[in-house]
């Protein structure tokens, strides 16, 4: 992996010895080989010294004895050169084969040395010599599985604190240091490899680091691979990856690929390297985010490949991507992890919050929240302040209809937001003014259900066709209702709860409308009656969240409807009671934003629901406390972040 290059020199300060010097002094005194200056810890300091230790030379060696009484004229002498003198002494003993009590044998080569030195620098040897293992007594110890030259280098390192690391030896040296548990050399080898990393060798370095459990190097090399994927995927090392490592790379959100097509092309290069890989291609294709690929590329290039045609698993992935691309208004229902943009791409999945009111005023503001980065950005404000409105998304176009203006009048207006231009455009108005309406995007049409036109509740339903810019009444709801929770699922329109009676109490009624056959059908009622709840769909189920629980108070209760069984079940309650919060689903998790706790108490918190664990947690905050806002999730270009609103929030 690493080939010839300049020799790199790495030098270590070898402090470990200090701790065992005293032991050595006893041995050495007899042999008269080195002069030992005894450190007398019992000496006291003159009062004037006030505890300051006089150190003759301050080379970075910590004084060993610090707890010195501070009363006499004696002082602590520390010879900074001493450790290296001892080390040099030990090394010359070794080179002269004096006092050597063990010989390491490796690949036919022999390295005489001192047990005590080996044990002091390597826990491997310490364990070997201090137990009842046969080796603890043997004079010759065989070391297997490493290159003899590396044993030589490590032994020499033990006696000199120096070792040359080069591109040629770094792998073998690291392996040997790993075996003998010489951490400092191992770390130095890792740092050396990290410095040498490039597009050609990073994959090899990663696999090597993994094999030798060098966690930091393993992580850094993976980061390098992901970041430089554009170059790395053309290299020989990448093409010889095993399927598991390949999928680990392709699965990462951090893979730096401007377009998903490039990820696919990388997988094709890998596939074509070896015919037997065809069997595993489904496993690879699973991690390519096909829904983010152009439908034309999907059709012309990917679908026509034999390896895809012949494999039902690959076919399924293609059809999932096509559904996602084709059924734009069901994207929220099709929970599709493969549709999540990678971090490096120009788009991010965000929650857009529109209008509503804080504790003082009705708002014009339109903001986007990125749940991954927790960042808020301002989008173009509404042309007017509005609350109690409806908001839906189709592809990435937003439609806002109805609502209540700050003067209390109900709105007929319909506005469209185009993220490309970051601007709002007025479209055809509804037939009737509706505030507290239910608004839903169902298979290409916008439906407005019920609401308040100024004097009374409505049971009428109208439907907007974006292609003709026309509203038309459809079959009325069974009951006049305000603030119902509405969602679309599988081509059907669901309306649940809402305020219905004279006193505005909530209902537990749930009904479904089929636009193909026409007609409303009653479903099992909710477990609790409520109005002003948020609703969303996730993995084929409908969630109704919070709201006002009839005759009692705002609620934190959440229930879930399964159309297959026509049954409602309670989920874990939210952390907070929320009336009229906003809700949106991002990456398979429900986000609930703001809402009213009670009179005049508005939340600024965001809660997230994980359906797998049935748990809520507060994950972030909005820029203001807010209720009656509306939310949708969509994929937005990251560079859209226009200035904040001019003027006061409610200067409509
Ligand atoms: C000795 O050290 C103490 C605190 O460590 C200090 O308060 C005192 O002033 C020092 N005395 C002299 C003589 O430096
Ligand atoms: C991502 O890759 C492109 C080229 O493929 C490169 O120019 C860019 O610097 C990379 N980004 C990061 C964050 O490494």
Cα–Cα–Cα angle for 615, 505, 526, nearest 5°?
Answer: 40
Cα–Cα–Cα angle for 489, 493, 499, nearest 5°?
Answer: 120
The verdict on 334 and 434 lying in the same domain is: no
How far, in Å, is the centroid of ligand 1 from the Cα of 49? 9
CB of 230 shorter than 6 A to ligand 2: yes
The verdict on 439 and 501 lying in the same domain is: yes
Q: Which residue among 197, 223, 228 is best mutated to probe the pocket of ligand 2, counting the most ligand atoms within 8 A of its Cβ?
A: 228
Pairing state between β 558-562 and 541-545: antiparallel
Angle between helices 183-196 and 215-227 (to 10 degrees): 10
- Mean pLDDT, the chain, rounded, equals 86
The alpha carbon torsion through 392, 398, 402, 408 (nearest 10 deg) reads 110
- Phi, psi dihedral angles at 218 (to 5 degrees): -60, -45
Per-residue pLDDT, 71: 67
Q: What does the pLDDT look like over 567-586, one tens digit per residue?
A: 999 999 999 999 999 999 99
How far, in Å, is the centroid of ligand 1 from the Cα of 64? 23
For 208, the token pair is 């090597």
Q: Is 220 domain-assigned?
A: no
How far, in Å, is the centroid of ligand 2 from the Cα of 224? 10
How far, in Å, is the centroid of ligand 2 from the Cα of 199? 12
Q: What does the pLDDT look like over 54-64, one tens digit per residue?
A: 444 444 445 55
For ligand 2, atom 13, name the residue with the nearest CA.
Answer: 227
Closest ligand 2 atom to Cα of 231:
5
CATH number, domain containing residue 416: 2.120.10.80
- Report which of 484, 490, 422 is spatially closest to residue 449, judged by C-alpha positions: 484
What are the residues whose beta carbons fall under 8 Å from the beta carbon of 34, sequence distance 6 or more? 28, 85, 86, 89
What are the residues whose beta carbons fall under 8 Å from the beta carbon of 581, sequence distance 6 or more? 534, 545, 546, 592, 593, 594, 595, 603, 627, 629
The alpha carbon torsion through 16, 21, 24, 28 (nearest 10 deg) reads 130
CATH number, domain containing residue 281: 1.25.40.420
How far, in Å, is the centroid of ligand 2 from the Cα of 231? 9
Cα–Cα–Cα angle for 469, 475, 476, nearest 5°?
Answer: 105
Pairing state between β 605-610 and 589-593: antiparallel
pLDDT at residue 25 greater than cutoff 70: no
- Between CA 490 and CA 478 the distance in angstroms is 21
For residue 556, give the DSSP letter: -
Per-residue pLDDT, 131: 77
How far, in Å, is the centroid of ligand 1 from the Cα of 535? 71
The verdict on 571 and 440 lying in the same domain is: yes
- Report which of 539, 604, 547, 544 is spatially closest to residue 580, judged by C-alpha positions: 547
Q: Is 573 domain-assigned?
A: yes
Q: Outline where DSSP puts E strands in 358-444.
A: 366-370, 375-379, 390-394, 397-401, 414-418, 423-427, 438-442
Pairing state between β 567-570 and 582-586: unpaired
Q: What does the pLDDT look like over 357-405, one tens digit per residue?
A: 987 899 999 999 999 999 999 999 999 999 999 999 998 899 999 999 9
CB of 256 shorter than 6 A to ligand 2: yes
Q: What does the pLDDT look like over 455-514, one tens digit per residue?
A: 999 999 999 999 999 999 999 998 899 999 999 999 999 999 999 877 778 899 999 999
Residue pair 636/350 in contact (Cβ under 8 Å)? The answer is: yes
What is the separation of C-alpha 248 from the centre of its chain, rounded to a whole number of angstroms?
Answer: 14
- Between CA 393 and CA 398 the distance in angstroms is 4
- Between CA 363 and CA 538 the distance in angstroms is 29
Q: For residue 525, count CB atoms less than 10 angstroms from its CB and return exposed for 0-12, middle for 13-18, buried for 19 or more.
A: middle
Helix H, strand E, coil C: the string for 457-517 is EECCEEEEECCCCEEEEECCCCCCEECCEEEEECCEEEEECCECCCCCCEECCEEEECCCC
Closest ligand 2 atom to Cα of 256:
1
End position of a domain, from candidates 295, 327, 345: 345
Give the predicted TM-score (pTM) of the model.
0.77
Q: Is 468 domain-assigned?
A: yes
For ligand 2, atom 5, name the residue with the nearest CA.
Answer: 230
Residue pair 651/385 in contact (Cβ under 8 Å)? The answer is: yes
**Domain that residue 130 falls in:** 81-196
How far, in Å, is the centroid of ligand 1 from the Cα of 65? 20
- Report which of 595, 613, 594 is spatially closest to residue 369, judged by C-alpha positions: 594
How far, in Å, is the centroid of ligand 2 from the Cα of 232? 11
The verdict on 180 and 262 lying in the same domain is: no
Q: Which residue among 256, 261, 346 is best mutated to probe the pocket of ligand 2, counting the most ligand atoms within 8 A of its Cβ?
A: 256
pLDDT at residue 269 greater than cutoff 60: yes
Closest ligand 2 atom to Cα of 227:
14
The verdict on 326 and 471 lying in the same domain is: no
70 — pLDDT class (breaks 50, 70, 90)? low
- Between CA 489 and CA 498 the distance in angstroms is 19
User: Which residues pair with residue 485 across a beta bridge?
Assistant: 496
Q: What are the helix (H) ranges across 112-182?
A: 115-121, 123-130, 148-160, 170-180
CB of 231 shorter than 6 A to ligand 2: no
- Between CA 497 and CA 486 the distance in angstroms is 9
67 — pLDDT class (breaks 50, 70, 90)? low
Per-residue pLDDT, 68: 56
Per-residue pLDDT, averaged over 162-187, amounts to 94
For ligand 2, atom 1, name the residue with the nearest CA.
Answer: 256
- Between CA 427 and CA 383 the distance in angstroms is 13
The verdict on 358 and 330 lying in the same domain is: no
The verdict on 335 and 388 lying in the same domain is: no
Distance (Å) of CA 487 to CA 332, 390, 439, 491, 493: 10, 12, 8, 10, 6
Per-residue pLDDT, averaged over 18-43, amounts to 35
Q: For residue 121, count CB atoms less than 10 angstroms from its CB and return exposed for 0-12, middle for 13-18, buried for 19 or more.
A: buried
30 — pLDDT class (breaks 50, 70, 90)? very low
Please name which ligand lies nearest the alpha carbon of 259: 2
Angle between helices 202-211 and 183-196 (to 10 degrees): 160
Pairing state between β 520-522 and 541-545: unpaired
How far, in Å, is the centroid of ligand 1 from the Cα of 48? 9
Q: What does the pLDDT look like over 97-147, one tens digit per residue?
A: 999 999 999 999 999 999 999 999 999 999 888 877 776 778 899 998 899
Please name which ligand lies nearest the alpha carbon of 48: 1
Q: Is 394 domain-assigned?
A: yes
Q: What does the pLDDT look like over 189-200, one tens digit per residue?
A: 999 999 999 999
- Report which of 365, 333, 339 is spatially closest to residue 352, judged by C-alpha positions: 365
- Phi, psi dihedral angles at 330 (to 5 degrees): -115, 10
CATH number, domain containing residue 192: 3.30.710.10
Per-residue pLDDT, averaged over 207-230, amounts to 95
End position of a domain, from candidates 196, 212, 233: 196
Per-residue pLDDT, 337: 86
The alpha carbon torsion through 149, 152, 157, 160 (nearest 10 deg) reads -130
How far, in Å, is the centroid of ligand 1 from the Cα of 41? 22
Please name which ligand lies nearest the alpha carbon of 224: 2
3-state DSSP assignment of residue 239: helix
- Between CA 140 and CA 134 the distance in angstroms is 10
Q: Is 612 domain-assigned?
A: yes
3-state DSSP assignment of residue 446: strand
End position of a domain, from candidates 345, 364, 379: 345
Closest ligand 2 atom to Cα of 230:
5
Per-residue pLDDT, 365: 92
Q: Is 223 domain-assigned?
A: no
How far, in Å, is the centroid of ligand 2 from the Cα of 422? 27
User: Which residues pair with residue 426 across a beta bridge?
Assistant: 415
What is the separation of C-alpha 8 from the centre of its chain, rounded to a whole number of angstroms?
Answer: 37
Please name which ligand lies nearest the alpha carbon of 70: 1
- Between CA 241 and CA 646 the distance in angstroms is 55
Q: How many domains does the chain have?
A: 3
For 152, the token pair is 């030589």
How far, in Å, is the centroid of ligand 1 from the Cα of 51? 9
The verdict on 338 and 378 lying in the same domain is: no
Q: Which residue among 202, 227, 234, 257 is best mutated to probe the pocket of ligand 2, counting the most ligand atoms within 8 A of its Cβ?
A: 227
233 — pLDDT class (breaks 50, 70, 90)? very high
- Between CA 224 and CA 249 the distance in angstroms is 11
Percentage of the chain surpassing pLDDT 90? 71
Q: What does the pLDDT look like over 410-436, one tens digit per residue?
A: 999 999 999 988 999 999 999 999 999
For 352, the token pair is 């857009």
Please name which ligand lies nearest the alpha carbon of 47: 1
CB of 223 shorter than 6 A to ligand 2: no
How far, in Å, is the centroid of ligand 2 from the Cα of 193? 22
Q: Is 130 domain-assigned?
A: yes
The verdict on 614 and 498 lying in the same domain is: yes
Residue pair 21/86 in contact (Cβ under 8 Å)? The answer is: yes
The verdict on 437 and 464 lying in the same domain is: yes
Please name which ligand lies nearest the alpha carbon of 50: 1
What are the residues whose beta carbons fall under 8 Å from the beta carbon of 585, sequence distance 6 or more? 332, 335, 536, 537, 538, 591, 633
Per-residue pLDDT, 311: 93
CB of 227 shorter than 6 A to ligand 2: yes
For 56, the token pair is 């003759």
Q: What does the pLDDT look like over 597-646, one tens digit per residue?
A: 877 789 999 999 999 999 999 999 999 999 999 999 998 888 775 544 44
Tokens 């005894």 sit on residue: 38
The verdict on 159 and 283 lying in the same domain is: no
Q: Is 260 domain-assigned?
A: yes
- Between CA 542 and CA 393 the distance in angstroms is 18
The verdict on 470 and 335 lying in the same domain is: no
- Phi, psi dihedral angles at 376 (to 5 degrees): -105, 140
For 523, the token pair is 């479903």
Distance (Å) of CA 612 to CA 330, 556, 572, 590: 22, 19, 12, 12
326 — pLDDT class (breaks 50, 70, 90)? very high
Per-residue pLDDT, 56: 47
Percentage of the chain surpassing pLDDT 70? 86
């Amino acid at each position: 992996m690493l080939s010839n290059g300049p020799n790199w020199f790495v030098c270590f300060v070898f402090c470990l010895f200090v701790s065992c010097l005293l032991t050595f002094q006893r041995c050495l005194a007899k042999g008269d080989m080195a002069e030992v200056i005894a450190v007398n810890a019992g000496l006291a300091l003159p009062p004037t010294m006030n505890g300051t230790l006089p150190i003759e030379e301050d080379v970075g060696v910590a004084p060993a004895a610090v707890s010195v009484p501070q009363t006499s004229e004696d002082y602590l002498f520390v010879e900074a050169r001493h450790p290296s003198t001892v080390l040099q002494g030990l090394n010359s003993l070794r080179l002269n084969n004096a006092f050597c009590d063990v010989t390491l044998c490796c690949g036919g080569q022999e390295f005489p040395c001192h047990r005590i030195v080996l044990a002091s620098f390597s826990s491997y040897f310490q364990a070997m010599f201090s137990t009842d293992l046969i080796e603890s007594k043997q004079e010759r110890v065989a070391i297997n599985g490493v290159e003899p030259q590396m044993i030589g280098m490590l032994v020499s390192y033990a006696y000199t604190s120096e070792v040359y690391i080069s591109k040629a030896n770094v792998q073998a040296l690291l392996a040997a240091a790993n075996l003998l548990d010489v951490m400092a050399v191992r770390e130095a080898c890792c740092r050396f490899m990290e410095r040498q990393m490039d597009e050609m060798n990073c994959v090899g370095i990663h696999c090597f680091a993994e094999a030798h459990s060098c966690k930091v190097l393993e992580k850094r090399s993976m980061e390098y691979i992901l970041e430089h994927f554009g170059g790395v995927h053309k290299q020989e090392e990448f093409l010889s990856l095993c399927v598991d490592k390949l999928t680990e790379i392709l699965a990462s959100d951090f893979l730096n690929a401007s377009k998903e097509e490039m990820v696919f092309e990388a997988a094709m290069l890998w596939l074509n390297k070896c015919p037997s890989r065809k069997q595993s291609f489904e496993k690879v294709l699973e991690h390519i985010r096909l829904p983010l690929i152009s439908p034309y590329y999907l059709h012309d290039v990917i679908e026509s490949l034999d390896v895809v045609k012949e494999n039902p698993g690959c076919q399924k992935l293609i059809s999932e991507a096509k559904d996602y691309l084709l059924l734009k208004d069901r994207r929220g229902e099709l929970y599709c992890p493969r549709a999540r943009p990678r971090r490096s791409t120009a788009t991010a999945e965000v929650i857009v919050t529109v209008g509503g009111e804080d504790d003082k005023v009705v708002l014009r503001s339109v903001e986007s929240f990125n749940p991954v980065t927790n960042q808020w950005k301002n989008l173009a404000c509404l042309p007017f302040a509005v609350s109690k409105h409806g908001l839906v998304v189709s592809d990435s176009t937003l439609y806002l209809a109805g609502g209540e203006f700050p003067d209390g009048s109900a709105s007929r207006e319909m506005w469209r937001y185009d993220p490309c231009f970051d601007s709002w455009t007025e479209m055809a108005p509804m037939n009737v003014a509706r505030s507290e309406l239910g608004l839903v995007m169902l298979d290409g049409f916008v439906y407005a259900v019920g609401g308040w036109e100024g004097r009374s509740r409505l049971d009428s339903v109208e439907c907007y066709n974006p292609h003709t810019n026309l509203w038309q009444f459809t079959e009325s709801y069974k009951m006049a209702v305000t603030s119902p929770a509405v969602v679309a699922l599988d081509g059907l329109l669901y309306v649940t709860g809402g305020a219905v009676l004279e006193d505005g109490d909530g209902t537990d009624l749930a009904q479904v409308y089929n636009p193909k056959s026409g007609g409303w059908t009653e479903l099992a009622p909710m477990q609790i009656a409520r109005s002003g709840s948020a609703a969303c769909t996730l993995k084929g189920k409908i969630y109704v969240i919070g709201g006002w629980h009839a005759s009692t108070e705002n609620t934190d209760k959440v229930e879930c409807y399964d159309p297959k069984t026509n049954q409602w079940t309670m989920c874990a309650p939210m952390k907070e009671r929320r009336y009229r919060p906003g809700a949106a689903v991002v990456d398979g998790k429900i986000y609930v934003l703001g809402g009213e706790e009670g009179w005049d108490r508005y939340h600024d918190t965001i809660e997230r629901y994980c359906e797998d664990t049935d748990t809520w947690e507060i994950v972030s905050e909005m820029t203001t406390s807010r209720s009656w806002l509306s939310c949708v999730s969509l994929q937005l270009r990251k560079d859209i972040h226009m200035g904040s609103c001019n003027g006061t929030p409610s200067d409509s």
